[in-house]
């Protein structure tokens, strides 16, 4: 991923060689769109189901629901757990909750097959359109560096900046990803919109931090739509929603 710009541990925030985030002249306005990845850009529900069905069979929906609760609890524990461990431990706990026998080796299939989860069919056209409009694109993900690297390679073009849970040693809905992105990118107020599916992980902290946002509500979770600045159910409307938010910020 030659163009993936990261903040490296123990040193200055920078990117590898030609992919480095170039310094902009003061008069040049750089606008950013950040995305959550899994659930927003990548179809984690169908991806999870494909990975878990050989292990849970007809009880896969139960396992996924149980896993979701355990993942949230594991992510707020201290000290910070790598996401690979969260996936494995969460799945073992979910199996125990619903009474399915599962070995640790079987549970490790979830992180091992992480990169097989598909990008939503409507995503690439949206990303291409935003790039054509001049936006820089970034991902704020509750994922580790190595796991996201596999997923990153499934997109047609690399993102300009990636902030992982491993990098900030924290998980959304904590504001750490958002604060890290603001510091590394140098984005100005009014030049940043965040797009995400999860009300809990992304839209709530974006609202709390005053970050303009588009709720790409693929799961139809039932929170009040009027609480988001823009509310959509599919990617084709995101480009116009972002343009509208930026027009309002001028």
Tell me the per-residue pLDDT of 161-205, one tens digit each, with 9 for 90 and over: 999 999 999 999 999 999 999 999 999 989 999 999 999 999 999
Q: Which of 112, 91, 116 is nearest to 101 (CA)?
A: 91
The pLDDT of residue 16? 37
What is the fold, at CATH topology level, of the domain defined by 44-116? Answer: DNA polymerase; domain 1 (1.10.150)
Those residues of the chain that have pLDDT short of 50 are 1-20, 22, 24-25, 250
Give the pTM: 0.88
| CA 64 from centroid of its chain's CA atoms | 18
Q: What are the residue boundaries of the structural domains of the chain, listed by start?
A: 6-42+118-249, 44-116
The pLDDT of residue 51? 98
The pLDDT of residue 225? 87
pLDDT one-digit tens code per residue, 148-157 = 999 999 999 9
The pLDDT of residue 3? 33
The pLDDT of residue 8? 35
The pLDDT of residue 247? 80
The pLDDT of residue 160? 98
What is the fold, at CATH topology level, of the domain defined by 6-42+118-249? Answer: Rossmann fold (3.40.50)
């Amino acid at each position: 991923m030659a163009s993936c710009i990261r903040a490296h541990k123990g040193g200055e925030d920078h990117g590898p060689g030609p992919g480095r985030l170039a310094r902009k002249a003061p008069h040049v306005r750089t606008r950013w769109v950040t995305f959550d990845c899994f659930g927003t850009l990548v179809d984690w529900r169908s991806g999870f189901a494909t990975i878990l069905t050989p292990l849970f069979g007809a009880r896969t929906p139960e396992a996924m629901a149980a896993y979701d609760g355990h993942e949230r609890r594991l992510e707020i524990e201290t000290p910070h757990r790598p996401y690979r461990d969260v996936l494995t431990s969460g799945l073992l706990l979910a199996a125990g909750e619903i009474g399915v026998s599962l070995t640790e080796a079987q549970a490790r299939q979830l992180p091992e097959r992480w990169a097989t989860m598909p990008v939503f069919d409507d995503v690439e056209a949206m990303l291409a359109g935003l790039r054509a409009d001049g936006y820089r694109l970034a991902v704020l993900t509750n994922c580790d560096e190595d796991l996201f690297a596999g997923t990153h390679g499934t997109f047609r073009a690399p993102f300009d900046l990636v902030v992982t849970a491993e990098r900030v040693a924290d998980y959304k809905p904590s504001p750490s990803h958002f604060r890290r992105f603001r510091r590394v990118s140098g984005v100005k107020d009014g030049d940043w919109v965040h797009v995400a599916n999860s009300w809990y992980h992304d839209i709530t902290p974006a609202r709390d931090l005053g970050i303009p946002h588009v709720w790409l509500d693929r799961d139809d979770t039932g929170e009040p739509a009027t609480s988001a600045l823009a509310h959509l159910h599919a990617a084709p409307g995101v480009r116009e929603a972002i343009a509208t938010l930026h027009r309002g910020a001028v």
